Structure 1
Amino acid sequence: MSQRVALSWSGGKDSCMALHKLVEGDKKVACLVTTVPQETGRTFAHDEEIGKMKAQAEALDIPIEFIHCSYDTYNEDFLKHLLDLKTKYELNAIAFGDMYLEGHREWGEKLATAAGIQALYPLWMEESMMLDALNQFIKLGYKAEVIKVRGDMLPQDWVGRILDKRFIEEISKKADICPMGESGEYHTFVFDGPLFKERVNTKGL
């Protein structure tokens, strides 16, 4: 029997790649999980609109669960909701799209242990492999656009850019930036690809 997994979902390339790997590995992704701070009403990871996340989940044909939390009680809120989801979806694991940041992994593993389930990191690899990972994402056929950048690391006019060969060529020349944006250099929204039933049209959402 395959594992029933909740996937921590940002809507970006990392979580989408994690989904692809889980499906390839015969895991049952029972739901997507996205945190929404009460202070903003938008997603915690990428400050994205809820409507776009719902459209993504519909296109992927996977239920999405929003964990409404507070910055002050983020960990407690996440755990409480995860325990509810564990029962609702009969979960035995939660997966994350983190790739090499040890602090992020430690947090996820601690959360999973508290919930009595396993923490999965299907993308975990060496930091030196980030350019290869970005190439793999594009070769898989997924389409994503940049929705946010760190102003101290990338120019604002990178917002709206599509991840393609030209993008790879340009970001690979920036020595101090992780090609996958693991330190928040840039964030993306995936709108199409192999697992999507249809292209996500975000206009008007």
Structure 2
Amino acid sequence: MMNRIALSWSGGKDSCMALHELTGQGEEVACLVTTVPQETGKTFAHNEDIKNIQAQADSIGIPLELVRCRYDTYSEDFLEKLKRLKVEYRLDSIAFGDMYLEGHREWGQKLAYEAGLKAIYPLWSKKTEMLKALSKFVNSGYKAEVIKVREDLLPADWVGRPLDETFIEDICKKAVCPMGESGEYHTFVYDGPLFKKMIILNPSK
């Protein structure tokens, strides 16, 4: 029987590829779930404008659910919302786009368990496979750009760069994970196979 899945959605390449993998497997992603700390009013980690995330959901055709949380009660707020979504969408599972960080996986598994759901990691791989994963995304037909970097690790002027072959060449010269799994950079996907129309980004700052 087909799973009904909530997908943790940042708007970036990882969550997009997770969605691509799940739909390709014939799974049903019932809703996208995005955390929005009250302290910023924008998405967690990516600091993205909610209007842009909503535009993605509208283009993809999957409902977007926002988790309004606080940094100091992030897990508790997420769990409370997830329990409600489980009933509303008749969920079986929650999926995450994490690729190899064990701490992130343990957190997601604990969250899912406490909500009575199964945790799914469709992109889970090895750290040594990250360059291959980046190449797969770049060649997938999806279009994304860098929206945030850790300026102690990457140049500030990388913000706005498209993820393309030149980006792959340049990221390989840096002492960082090619996929930015430790937050070295964040992206926004604005077009691709699952999008009905291209997204025009609303400025986040």
TM-score when normalising by structure 1: 0.98
Q: CA RMSD in A?
A: 1.0
Task: Measure how far apart 1:204 and its partner are.
Answer: 6.7
Shift of 1:138: 1.2
Match of 2:72 in 1: 72
Q: Which residue of 1 aligns with 2:25?
A: 25
Q: CA offset at residue 173 of structure 1?
A: 1.8
State the partner residue of 1:146: 146
1:117-136 matched pairs, under 5 angstroms: 117-136=117-136
The 2-side partners of 1:115 and 1:167 are apart by: 39
In structure 2, what is the equivalent of residue 109 of structure 1?
A: 109
Tell me the CA shift for residue 45 of structure 1.
Answer: 2.8
What are the residue-to-residue correspondences of 1:71-110 with 2, within 5 Å?
71-110=71-110
Paired with 2:111 and 2:184, the residues of 1 have a C-alpha distance of: 25
SS at structure 1 position matched to 2:195: coil
CA distance in 1, matches of 2:86, 2:162: 36
**SS state of the match for residue 173, structure 2?**
coil
Pairwise CA distance, 1:203: 4.1
Question: What amino acid does structure 1 have at the position aligned with 2:104?
Answer: H
1:95 maps to a residue whose letter is A
Query: Which residue pairs with 1:60 in the alignment?
Result: 60
In the alignment, the residues of structure 1 paired with residue 15 and residue 106 of structure 2 have an alpha-carbon distance, to the nearest angstrom, of 18
Please give the per-residue CA displacement for 1:162-188, whole angstroms capped at 9, x wherever unaligned.
Answer: 0000100111122x2000000100000
Query: Who is 1:189 aligned against?
Result: 188
Q: Distance in 2 between matches of 1:79 and 1:199?
A: 32
User: Residues 204 and 160 of structure 1: is their aligned pair in 2 closer, same or farther, counting only changes over 3 Å?
Assistant: closer
What 5-or-longer segments of structure 2 have no aligned partner? Answer: none
Structure 1 SS opposite 2:59: helix
Amino acid corresponding to residue 11 of structure 1 in structure 2: G
Corresponding residue pairs, total: 204
TM-score (norm 2): 0.98
Most deviating of 98-107 and 72-81? 72-81
Unaligned runs of 5+ in 1: none
CA distance in 1, matches of 2:42, 2:128: 32
Q: Describe the shift of the 1:8–1:102 C-alpha distance in structure 2 as closer, same or farther (beyond 3 A).
A: same
Instruction: Please tell me whether the aligned partners of residues 49 and 202 of structure 2 are also in contact (alpha carbons under 8 angstroms).
Output: no
Tell me by how many angstroms 1:139 deviates: 1.0
Shift of 1:202: 1.8
Q: How far, CA to CA, are the matches of 1:25 and 1:160 in structure 2?
A: 32
After the TM superposition, which segments of 4 or more aligned residues of structure 1 sit over 4 Å from their partners? none
Aligned position for 1:198: 197
